Amino acid sequence: MPMLEEAVDMKNTPENLRRLESVSIVIALLLMAGFIVNPTPVGAPPATGTLNITWENLAPDTNTYQGDVNLTVLWLALEAQDADITLESIQVDIYGFPPEGINRTFAWDDRNYDKEMSYAECVIGEDTSAPYVLPPLGQMRECTWPGIGRPVVIEQNRSRYFTIYLDLDFDPDQQLTDKDLRVCVNEGSITSSASTVVGLPACSRTIEINTRLFFDDMERGQGNWTFEGGDDGGIYPDGLWHLSQGEEDCINNVPRRLFFHSENTSWWYGRRFEWFGDWMCNYYTNRSEAPLQPTKNWGRLRTPWIDARKGTSLVMTVWHFLAREMYSGVDLARVFLSDGEGWHLISGERTTDDHWRKLILNLSEYAGKQVQLEFRFDTMDERNNLFFGWFIDDLSVHGEVMEHDIAVTEFNMESFVSLDPQSVTARVSNIGMNDEYNVEIDLTQDGAVVDQKIITYLASGDTTKVMLTWVPPGEGLYEICFKSVPVQGEIVLWNNYQCMSVNATSRTLTKVAVLRSYGTQGQGPKTTWDYLNAHWDGYGLDPVIIDYTSLDIYPITYEAIKDIEPDVLVLSGSGYYYREPIGTELDDSEIEAIEMWAKEGNGFVTIGTAFHTNVSNNNGLVGLVGIADQTYYHRGSSSFIQVDGKCIDHPIFTSVSNPFEKTFSRSMVPMNGLRWDSGDLDGGTMCALANDASVAIVVHKGAVMISSAADVVPNEDEKQLLYNAFVWSRYNVFDYDVKVSANAPRFVRPFDSASVTSIIKNVGRKDLSAVQVDFRVDGSVVDTRDIIDLLRAEQAYENFTWVPSLLGTYQICVFADIVGIADENPSNNEVCMPIEVTNDIPIQVYVLDSWGTDFSGEAPWDYLNENWINHGSARVYINYTRFNKETISYQDLVDSYADVLLISSSRSGNMDNPDAGGYHFTDSELNAIARYTQEGHGLVATGLTLDSEKLAEHGQVLGPMFGLKAKNLYYYLSGINNLHVINPSENHPLFNNIEVNYDTANGMTLTTAHAISWGPGSWEWFPEDWRPEHLAGGEYKAISYPTENATVITHDPGGYKAVYITNFVEKNSNVNDKQLLYNAMVWVGTGIDSPTDLWIYKDGSTLRLEWTEPTSARVQGYRIYRAMSVNGFDFNNSYDEVLAGTTQWIDPQPLVGIDPNDYFYLVRA
């Protein structure tokens, strides 16, 4: 839609310049008074050189209205040829419009020749009365540095550029409406030192003064304007739009900008707030309890209803000042229009270059309706919301109202249609002042009428919908037009018809919609989509239409998708350069909508870094493309991709070379290993792989995942691949299909009950009358249930109980089968998992998504799983795969049966990347972790998990879980390797088998800090020692030396236990690090302390054991183990058991002096 922008009227500039000229004159007079000057006749320098003028008409195609200011009319380029030329003045002649309608004419010094008002430019001459000579007195002088106040001299072979503007009188009665206006700079109107002036006259086009249908300068209060919005912190439930007056006094408003265009009031999306004793102006918001934790915010400002039922050439002008973050997809400033049938995006704005500028929007297609305008600002994220925001002032809507005017105001057809008869609908409006009778409406094909209708009566201001029929005569491209035959007296005819090119075809059309991502915001993908739209026939017989604007919205709802009915949804990349195109992360409701649409049988294709640590919530869609729910990143990649033999004949590789080369270097890869293999699949088929495994192409149930950025600068093979994927992709939805999910404990004791829960869901199109569910152990059915009437999309819960008697590891399975009908997709009918039956139930430790899940190969998890006996008597089982995913719920934690949750140095995965935010837990994840821990489970964290610079909310929510104050700030240091146990006599279990003075292999640590703010989001960090005032119930158990920047903290509030180890002990672990990790897992995981001070005494002919009981009230008793060697304990079989309250035990065997064997004893609480 046509859009123009003009810049603000710098009202005070001419007065300032006149004051400067006056000062110059006074100085000159004072100097002259000190000398006696005899009159000397001086002749004017001879005229020389040629002033060559080229020009451009800038009068808007949208006409104008009374009250318009900064109305651009002409642009002049003045080139000095053969000599330097001094410019004296420019006279502007105005035709057709009387002087009383003009407040001012002025010339703008357009130094960067962009035809806009820009920074460091100025008014170089103005006049307020006819004849309009710029300047009216004296000669033209420079208005800005360098050379301010000096004559304007155009150097030889150089050019100067000037834009001519008009300010029109407002006139509330609009007495000059329908007048014409034309501006010229005629021959002889430019005075200068040139001997010759060529290129004149320069004249604008003739524009009309239209009727002002709506105007508001914001000086009369809110009126019928409304606003709404919010922020993630809940402090601003209505957003930040408000009427602003006198808020310019801010420390970041230097030089002082006006927060209004006219008078003193505007609408502002932003706020002024106190910041350490000063005023700050921006749109930064924060959590109520944490002023340093920024939040996302958004707001909508809506105009009153504007009556545009009469009038053509409908135009909106508004003055706005926009200062926002310049990344694509973030801090969105957009203008929408409602015509009563929905909201339509009509403009997206980027910046006004530190000026007030006039935004002109052509709304002609909405003529004949009542409309509302809405200004929407959405930060899309919480980062860098430090700019002024958006100011709105002086909004007007104008149009031309004719005696007779019929318009076709809405006409939409698909660009591709079948050969069947087509119903064609358009909206016809009477936007003239008179009622009309017998209006003829024609539908034409290539100029020939194929159908028509007579509207017998259409009142002024009324609209009606007309439906006609077109029968395509065969395959081909046709020009289809909906026309209103002119009524008597109608002279504006351009709006009487609308036409479009329509392709009639017998082939299948694929409509592709690109979801909000790099594919809707990056120029590379948009160029690719435009090319494929224009040249699809170079890649196949079936047409494709790629729409990359309709779903570049937030939020993407199911209704928004259904409105455009795409055959295929495409999610493009989001993390090519450390940070995603901001705002491309999908939220839970969007993921649900996308998944719902795909599973109705529509296609789904992902390209590049659609899944990435920067947009972790997108992982909610990995199941659609059959890859694992794990952390993904990006890397440079190999140039060649090899298609696997099993997929050579797959339709997505039709006419694609094998191997084929890719162009753009980035590719999405699993974070762990940065390469693809079969372990990264979850049901998908790896159809192609780069020779260095940096690129994979996976197909799954009709969906496609292309990990390379094939849409950025594709070669012919990549264009073919994209075309093929779009045409082929349709998600496989079967008529008859049940899906099973199940959960069970990983370990169980003999004769204890193991509860196996399962969910059986009907994911097919048809209702099912009966489903049989079998519970199997090592392949044998041990229980069966029947589900009656499982309707489409419904699910049933079936719980089984298994009581094992023998030690061992068993494979248990839940299998569902449709009774009497073959399941069309048996791949998801069964879920199996191992259960180990043992008397030695290990402490189950689950590593949450963090460094320890993505870099598990560098962590000591496997070592401790296999060699725990080297570190203590309690068996540990460490699982680092289950929670290597991006969304962790409370129910997920419950289903794991975890004794201990371990967070492994959340920030340390990409410490070499200053933009990396670390492994960020969402609010819901933090709350889930806290809730599960407080229900009696252990919590261990290491390294930079609480880092305030990148993970501030971790310290605020998780910090208190470790007995730390929520208000603490933390930063990182390196090179802190030496620690000592603070109270060795305590014999705390954390330091079993660790010396009082010990070292750690990795010197990276988290320490407390304070920060100095240089404005919201800008901090300088100063590390400090750990001190008692940082604690809120926690205890320091070890501390570094000589500086106290590393520590080990315990917290035992009574319901759970927690340990925070500030060193990064799991990276390059030495024996002390492994022992400390093991001890921490055991201490927090048992929920009780172990007995201490075990002694063995000879008591007559027997041996007596004595120990000190732990203080925990949860102790029920003690198991005693005996072995012939230190490594010979069998923890599946205890030697004896005694009740709590017992502190000694006598071994009836051996008889001392008779049995020659050595015995080793172990006592467990």
Tens-digit pLDDT profile for residues 666-722: 899 998 789 999 999 999 999 999 999 999 999 999 999 999 999 999 999 999 999
Q: What is the pLDDT of residue 958?
A: 94
Is residue 1099 over pLDDT 90?
no
Looking at 1056-1151, list the stretches that DSSP marks H as alpha helix, in order from N- to C-terminal side: 1071-1086
Closest CA to 1059 of 1040, 1041, 1078: 1078
Q: What is the pLDDT of residue 310?
A: 87
Sheet holding 463-470, edge to edge: 406-411, 422-430, 463-470
C-alpha span between 47 and 49 (Å, rounded):
7
Tens-digit pLDDT profile for residues 720-755: 999 999 999 999 999 999 999 999 999 999 999 999
Q: What is the pLDDT of residue 913?
A: 45
Least confident of 17-31, 307-321, 415-429, 983-997: 17-31
Q: What is the pLDDT of residue 702?
A: 97
The secondary structure of 1020-1035 as a DSSP string is EEEE----GGGBSS-E
Q: What is the pLDDT of residue 1150?
A: 62
Q: What is the pLDDT of residue 1151?
A: 56
What is the share, in percent, of the chain residues with pLDDT greater than 90?
A: 71
Q: What is the pLDDT of residue 31?
A: 27
Is residue 260 over pLDDT 60?
yes
Pairing verdict, β 1047-1051 and 795-802: unpaired
Instruction: Say if residues 709 and 609 touch (Cβ distance below 8 Å).
Output: yes
Q: What average pLDDT does the chain have?
A: 89
Band of pLDDT at residue 1017, cut at 50, 70 and 90 = low
C-alpha span between 109 and 115 (Å, rounded):
10
What value, to the nearest 5°, has the Cα angle with vertex 66 and ends 60 and 67? Answer: 95
H or E segment at 918?
Answer: none
Is residue 225 over pLDDT 60?
yes
Closest CA to 824 of 869, 766, 864, 781: 766
C-alpha span between 1043 and 153 (Å, rounded):
68
Tens-digit pLDDT profile for residues 822-873: 999 898 999 999 999 999 999 999 999 988 988 888 999 999 999 999 999 9
Q: What is the pLDDT of residue 1129?
A: 81
- The token pair at 1163 is 């006592």
Half-sphere exposure of 406 (CA within 13 A, CB side): 26
Q: What is the pLDDT of residue 214?
A: 93
Closest CA to 746 of 546, 899, 860: 899
Contact partners, residue 247, CB within 8 Å, separation at least 6: 259, 268, 272, 281
Band of pLDDT at residue 45, cut at 50, 70 and 90 = low
C-alpha span between 1145 and 1096 (Å, rounded):
10
Report residue 621: phi and psi, to 5°: -110, 0
Contact partners, residue 817, CB within 8 Å, separation at least 6: 738, 771, 772, 773, 774, 823, 829
Q: What is the pLDDT of residue 610?
A: 94
Band of pLDDT at residue 2, cut at 50, 70 and 90 = very low
Mean predicted confidence (pLDDT) in 493-520: 94
C-alpha span between 207 and 180 (Å, rounded):
6
Closest CA to 380 of 517, 273, 519: 517
DSSP strand E in 23-158: where?
50-57, 64-65, 71-81, 85-95, 102-109, 122-127, 132-134, 152-154
Band of pLDDT at residue 8, cut at 50, 70 and 90 = very low
What value, to the nearest 5°, has the Cα angle with vertex 558 and ends 421 and 617? Answer: 140
Closest CA to 763 of 701, 715, 811, 812: 701
Q: Tokens 């007296």 map to which residue?
A: 489
Is residue 1126 over pLDDT 80?
no
Distance of CA 160 to the CA centre of its chain: 44
The one-letter code for the residue type at 1059 is V
Count of Cβ atoms closer than 10 Å to residue 95 Cβ: 12
Instruction: Say if residues 1049 and 1036 touch (Cβ distance below 8 Å).
Output: yes
Band of pLDDT at residue 575, cut at 50, 70 and 90 = low
C-alpha span between 530 and 513 (Å, rounded):
13
The secondary structure of 279-336 as a DSSP string is EEEE--EEETTEEEEEE-EEEEEEPPPEEESS-EEEEEEEEEEEE---STTSSEEEEE
Pairing verdict, β 343-349 and 332-338: antiparallel
- The token pair at 694 is 């940096």
Distance (Å) of CA 283 to CA 270, 330, 581, 820, 1069: 4, 13, 20, 63, 45
Instruction: Say if residues 751 and 803 touch (Cβ distance below 8 Å).
Output: yes
Least confident of 441-450, 964-973, 1022-1031, 1111-1120: 1111-1120
Q: Tokens 């009778």 map to which residue?
A: 437
Which residues does residue 963 pair with via DSSP β-bridges, in sequence order? none
Distance (Å) of CA 314 to CA 310, 539, 771: 10, 42, 62
C-alpha span between 413 and 391 (Å, rounded):
38
3-class DSSP state of 268? strand
Q: What is the pLDDT of residue 915?
A: 41
Please state whether the peptide bond connecting residue 1150 to the residue before it is cis, i.e. omega within 30 degrees of 0. Answer: yes
Sign of torsion over alpha carbons 1122, 1127, 1129, 1131: positive
Closest CA to 609 of 579, 638, 633: 633
C-alpha span between 815 and 819 (Å, rounded):
13
Q: What is the pLDDT of residue 1112?
A: 65
Which residues does residue 773 pair with via DSSP β-bridges, in sequence order? 785, 816
The one-letter code for the residue type at 370 is Q
The secondary structure of 709-743 as a DSSP string is -TTTS--HHHHHHHHHHHHH------SS-EEEEEE
User: Between 984 and 382, where is the model more confident?
Assistant: 984
Contact partners, residue 912, CB within 8 Å, separation at least 6: none
Tens-digit pLDDT profile for residues 633-646: 888 877 899 999 99
Band of pLDDT at residue 30, cut at 50, 70 and 90 = very low
What is the share, in percent, of the chain residues with pLDDT greater than 70?
A: 93
Band of pLDDT at residue 1153, cut at 50, 70 and 90 = low
3-class DSSP state of 524? helix
Mean predicted confidence (pLDDT) in 782-810: 96
C-alpha span between 1062 and 1039 (Å, rounded):
10
Mean predicted confidence (pLDDT) in 802-819: 97
Burial class (CB in 10 A: 0-12, 13-18, 19+), 476: exposed
Distance of CA 442 to the CA centre of its chain: 47
pTM (two decimals): 0.69
Tens-digit pLDDT profile for residues 914-933: 344 557 788 889 989 999 99
User: Between 1156 and 394, where is the model more confident?
Assistant: 394
DSSP strand E in 918-991: where?
938-942, 970-973, 978-981
Band of pLDDT at residue 583, cut at 50, 70 and 90 = low
Radius of gyration of the chain (CA): 39
Count of Cβ atoms closer than 10 Å to residue 866 Cβ: 9
Distance of CA 657 to the CA centre of its chain: 35
Q: What is the pLDDT of residue 1134?
A: 84
Band of pLDDT at residue 44, cut at 50, 70 and 90 = low
DSSP strand E in 744-890: where?
747-748, 754-762, 768-777, 780-790, 795-802, 808-818, 830-837, 843-847, 876-879
Closest CA to 632 of 674, 693, 586, 585: 674
Instruction: Say if residues 850 and 950 touch (Cβ distance below 8 Å).
Output: no
Half-sphere exposure of 226 (CA within 13 A, CB side): 6
Q: What is the pLDDT of residue 966?
A: 87
